[in-house]
Amino acid sequence: RHPAPSGCTERALLVERQAVDEAARTATLAFASETPYERYWGIEVLDCTPTSMRTGRLRSGANLLCDHDSRDVVGVVESVEIGADRVGRAVVRFGKSARAEEVWQDVLGGIRRNVSVGYMIHKAVLVESDDGVETYRVTDFEPFEISLVSVPADASVGVGRSASPAPEPIGDTPDE
């Protein structure tokens, strides 16, 4: 049996160029979904609802980073929403420093397309155990940064993915 999930973790997503506003230097991206993801301790399913996702840090101007490096700031989170499709989305604005411009040009050119979110898990509930594999539904988590990364973990969501259907959750879904 693995220990219950806790602490800081990350998930990755995809940037799509059609969701980029070149004049405003912004991109709209999906940063969290309910797509199951395999961790060392079992399968993780983020509960993407307003009651489960603490968005305060993101709403207060969290940074857009490169590769989760807190010293490599290239922008800021401008706004956050959790859609009826249970996907967390953010509008990010790129800075005007030389580094931010370099990254912005790579986003515009379709070179940097993968996005990841860093978050802390505050509560996870075991919803299923099948052949020794445990599935946890994360019912309280706190995103604290969004990063552009080279290798995504969850490529089911990303910039411009607002029309994508929500994935099927694993296990029991709490009543809302």
DSSP per-residue letters across 17-85 = GGGEETTTTEEEEEEE----EEETTEEEEE--STTTB--HHHHTTPEEEETTEEEEEEEEEEEEEE-TT
pLDDT of residue 156: 59
**pLDDT one-digit tens code per residue, 46-99:** 999 999 999 999 999 999 999 999 999 999 999 999 999 998 999 999 999 999
Confidence tier at 116 by pLDDT (50, 70, 90): confident
Confidence tier at 155 by pLDDT (50, 70, 90): low
Q: Is 112 or 104 the better-scoring residue by pLDDT?
A: 104
Structural contact between residues 11 and 32, judged by C-beta atoms closer than 8 angstroms: yes
Q: Are strands 26-32 and 20-21 parallel, antiparallel or unpaired?
A: antiparallel
Structural contact between residues 64 and 146, judged by C-beta atoms closer than 8 angstroms: yes
Least confident of 14-23, 51-60, 99-108, 126-135: 14-23
Q: Are strands 88-94 and 69-82 parallel, antiparallel or unpaired?
A: antiparallel
Please check the confidence at residue 135 and state whether its pLDDT lies above 90.
yes
Q: Helix or strand or coil: residue 99?
A: helix
Please check the confidence at residue 149 and state whether its pLDDT lies above 90.
no
Q: Helix or strand or coil: residue 106?
A: helix
Residue type, 140: D
Q: Which residues contact 60 (CB under 8 A, 6 or more apart)?
A: none
Please check the confidence at residue 170 and state whether its pLDDT lies above 80.
no
Please check the confidence at residue 159 and state whether its pLDDT lies above 80.
no
Confidence tier at 164 by pLDDT (50, 70, 90): very low
